[in-house]
Amino acid sequence: MAAKSAPLTLPGLAGKIVVITGAARGQGCAEALVLLASGAHVIATDLNDACPSTLEKAAAKLPGELHYAQLDVTSEADWSALAQFLKKEFKQVHGLVNNAGIPFRGRIGEISRVDWDKVFSINVTGAMLGIQAIAPLMRKGASIVNIGSSAGLNAHHTVAYTASKWAVRGLTHVTATEFGPRGIRTNIVHPGYIETEMMAAAPAIMTDAQLTLTPLERTGQPEEVAAVVAFLLSDSAAYVNGAEIPVDGGFTSSAGVKYMSDIIKASQQKK
């Protein structure tokens, strides 16, 4: 998929210091570019020990500032080191995007404990550790955005991934409640079928089924998720807290009814 030539820009982000996990590619990279285009200072983190050249090259042409840091979201030591760096370098943090996550398509009855634990350690524990490490550096007006999934809104067959994203919903609402009095907002975005490297390995039949069930009848782009994330980080969302926003073309809203509606419509047209 070709990258957008000119990333979207949003107001209310210039000068903000935002940490993004899993920023080396896909949605995380798209989120970094939107924020950089909007004038934010982005701390892009990932497991890789070096910033991808594509992100570096794109960032060089944008008004914001990019700093890359290697981070294992499951490591308390890594989070502690990052928090210490941020405190020394910037004094405070305005935004945290818990974007890092992994899929696993194992079904209930088949998944191993090792794979289950790995998915939860990254998708849930990683987000929790990030919040605990970075929140002390946040002040009134700061924003946390967790990345959920349409799988966190209904019952997908991917048991570990689905359960982990439901858990991230709970983490989001607890954090929104606990940190709200401090003026720190926490929200969650639920991407649907987004065209990223993560989804490239999905079987074609999965894509076909998704299109049949999605009212907009297309897949999504990383930039479309990034735009919503950037809005939630911006001052324009100052009274949005504890919200769950699907970015899925109406997939979860329709709850499969589109397929039934299409079948009924087709049968009526034959009469």
Query: What are the pLDDT digits (tens) for 98-119?
Result: 999 999 888 999 999 999 999 9
Average pLDDT over residues 151-177: 96
Predicted structure pTM score: 0.93
Q: Which of 68, 161, 193, 239 is catalytic?
A: 161
Torsion sign over Cα 209, 213, 216, 222: negative
The one-letter code for the residue type at 137 is: L
Establish whether 161 is a catalytic residue: yes
Q: CA separation (Å) from 220 to 8, 69, 156, 241, 250?
A: 16, 28, 18, 25, 11
The arithmetic mean of pLDDT across residues 18-34, rounded, is: 96
Burial code (b: 16+ CB inside 10 Å, e: under 16) for 54-88 equals ebeebbeebebebbbbebbbbeeebbeebbeebee
pLDDT at residue 200 is higher than 80: no
CA distance 32 to 101: 16
Give residue for tokens 């210039």.
14
What is the distance between the alpha carbons of residues 134 and 46, in angstroms, rounded to a whole number? 16
Residues facing 186 on adjacent strands: 144
What is the C-alpha to C-alpha distance for residues 24 and 32, in angstroms, rounded to an integer?
9
Domain 17-270 = CATH 3.40.50.720: yes
| Angle between helix 53-60 and helix 26-37 axes, rounded to 10 deg | 10
Task: Render pLDDT for 256-269 as a digit per residue (tens, 0 to 9).
Answer: 888 788 888 887 88
Residue 172 phi, psi (nearest 5) = -60, -45
Higher pLDDT, 92 or 106: 92
| Helix residue spans in the chain (DSSP H) | 26-37, 53-60, 76-90, 113-120, 126-134, 159-179, 197-200, 204-213, 222-233, 251-254, 257-270
Chain Cα centroid distance, residue 128: 14
